[in-house]
Structure 1
Amino acid sequence: MTTRFVGNAPKVSEFKLMAWVDTAAPGARLVYHDGFLAVDMTSNVSTLRKPDLEDLRATASVAFRLCELGRIHLVQERLGPDRFAYVAIVRPHNCAVPSAAVKQLASAA
């Protein structure tokens, strides 16, 4: 099952994404952005307001870090011309991999 959000503005904060990864079952899917990520994150071409742009950058950064940690797979689904759904898929849990929240707190220290 995919949780989907509509529109270009980020609907999933970095903290909601981390919490979702820690509680979702393996295989669960979450659309964390709908649009064209490379364009939507670029200041001089994005149509997002500055706070939304910063939120999107933070969410995309956390998604990438969670992927590097082996917590999620990141995929794209083409929705139309220059429009994609950016999907996080939870990988099977591995006790050796710390929770996203713990990892975030550890990196902030």
Structure 2
Amino acid sequence: MPHSNIINFTRPAAPLSEIELCGWIGQAAPGAALEYHRGFLALDTVAAASRLPNDQREELLRMSRRAMWAAEQGLVHLVQRRLAPDCFAYLAIARPKLRQKRVSLSQLMTEEAA
């Protein structure tokens, strides 16, 4: 049986939005984990392959890009847990906040937009 250090994670009842993901990242304790998508992200975000309505697909694309951005900023680790063929749980795990550099998530997003 495979061993996993990710035992407890939050799974929202409804699909997450980019704003909800940002809110979670801003307040999550180090080590907290959130399932931000369940499915096959590479296909679910592509118009020709996705079964999602266009507005949900576009929000998923925005949210997944924000998750990647948060990982690049050192705010979260992104991991996948295979659940079945072509079905994965995509998890964001909050990293410890850096002490030497106090910057809010909204400030980072504003700098990115500029």
TM-score for the superposition, normalised by structure 2 = 0.86
Q: Which stretches in structure 2 are left out of the alignment for 5+ residues?
A: 1-7
The question of 1:3 aligning with 2:10 is answered yes
* Structure-2 separation of matches of 1:74 and 1:97: 22
Mapped to 2, the partners of 1:62 and 1:99 lie a distance apart of 15
Counterpart pick for 2:69 among 65, 69, 73: 65
Q: TM-score, normalised by structure 1?
A: 0.90
Which of these residues, 80, 87, 101, is aligned with residue 76 of structure 1?
A: 80
Superposed, which structure 2 residues align to 1:12-31 within 5 Å?
A: 12-31=16-35
Residue 100 of structure 1 is aligned with which of 95, 105, 108? 105
CA displacement, residues 11-69 of structure 1 (integer Å, 9 cap, x when unaligned): 11111111111101000000000000001011101101100010000000000000000
Q: What count of residue pairs does the alignment treat as equivalent?
A: 106
Q: Percent identity?
A: 42
- Unaligned runs of at least 5 residues, structure 1: none
Q: Which has the larger radius of gyration?
A: 2
RMSD: 1.5
Runs of 4 or more off by more than 3 Å in structure 1? none
Q: Distance in 2 between matches of 1:5 and 1:84?
A: 15
Residue 66 and residue 97 in structure 1: after superposition, are their counterparts in 2 closer, same or farther (change >3 A)? Answer: farther
CA-CA distance at 1:97 after TM superposition: 5.8
